[in-house]
A and B are shown apart, each in its own frame.
Chain A
């Protein structure tokens, strides 16, 4: 660790597939949940990386460098998936959200008010069945919402970065974060109770 700053990393494209293909594939699957698309992106990442070998300065590890290239491609995919859907999704969500709260005073409606549903138990985090439901509930979110949600929660990206990359305004960002969570929580309650 002490000589981290001095170490210069080398690229070894012949061993990329062996060393990183599975890692990059899993990285993509977690964020896009589409096997075919994940395969394509891994391939594109290696090919782009080969083109850009000259730009590698050796400051990061090979894996970090490849992951950064892949990440840009994933964000491109988010953008493609969510562009054009924005208006209709926003409309739908306006009406969808009215179910959660009374329209006149903003109270929870009776049928959507949060109830205890056992997500507080300590072992829920390692419960496979629950993880499966969580995954399904996330997939039900509109593409743009899921992109925002994933970038923020899984990748811990700065809010400004998410807004710029997905071309949404900061106020829209918070509206999406709010609605995504309301829907996700409701879906979990419905399917786990």
Chain B
């Protein structure tokens, strides 16, 4: 019972379980503990929402990052092309 009491009031442990739940599965006991904590803790309820949103944003950043990032510069690509062709030619000999 004392363990249960600890989690009911412990936001450190609750946020740990929130993160675990977002990526994996909680044990039955962990699920109950978190449920009870969230029933009485508005701050952690807000944390749940924000944390989910941050995950979405990180994924979104990847997509936008991929379209916004500048390409490789032309000189570098040219040098790379030469390097590859040299290597191909050497292998033939």
Contacts and interface: CB of A to CB of B under 8 A. Distances in A.
Interface of A: 13-14, 16-18, 21-22, 25-27, 29-30, 39, 42-43, 46-47, 50, 97, 100-101, 105-108, 113-116, 119-120, 124-126, 130-131, 134-135, 138, 149, 152-154, 159, 174, 177-178, 181-182, 184-185, 188
Contacts of B60: 125, 131
9 contacts: A14-B85, A21-B80, A46-B83, A97-B12, A113-B43, A114-B43, A134-B57, A134-B58, A154-B62
Question: By DSSP majority rule, is chain B's interface helix, strand, loop, or mixed?
Answer: helix
Question: Interface residues of B toward A: which range?
Answer: 35 or more
B49 interface: yes
B23 to A, nearest CB: 6
A12 to B, nearest CB: 11
A153 B24 CA distance: 12
A107 B50 contact: no
Question: By DSSP majority rule, is chain A's interface helix, strand, loop, or mixed?
Answer: helix
Contacts of A181: 15, 19, 51, 54
Given A106-B10, A134-B61, 16 more contacts: A13-B84, A14-B88, A17-B77, A18-B81, A30-B62, A30-B69, A47-B87, A50-B87, A50-B88, A101-B12, A107-B11, A153-B55, A154-B59, A178-B16, A178-B19, A185-B47
A181 B54 CA distance: 8
Contacts of B62: 30, 154
A109 to B, nearest CB: 10
Nearest to B65: A30
Nearest to A49: B84
Nearest to A97: B12
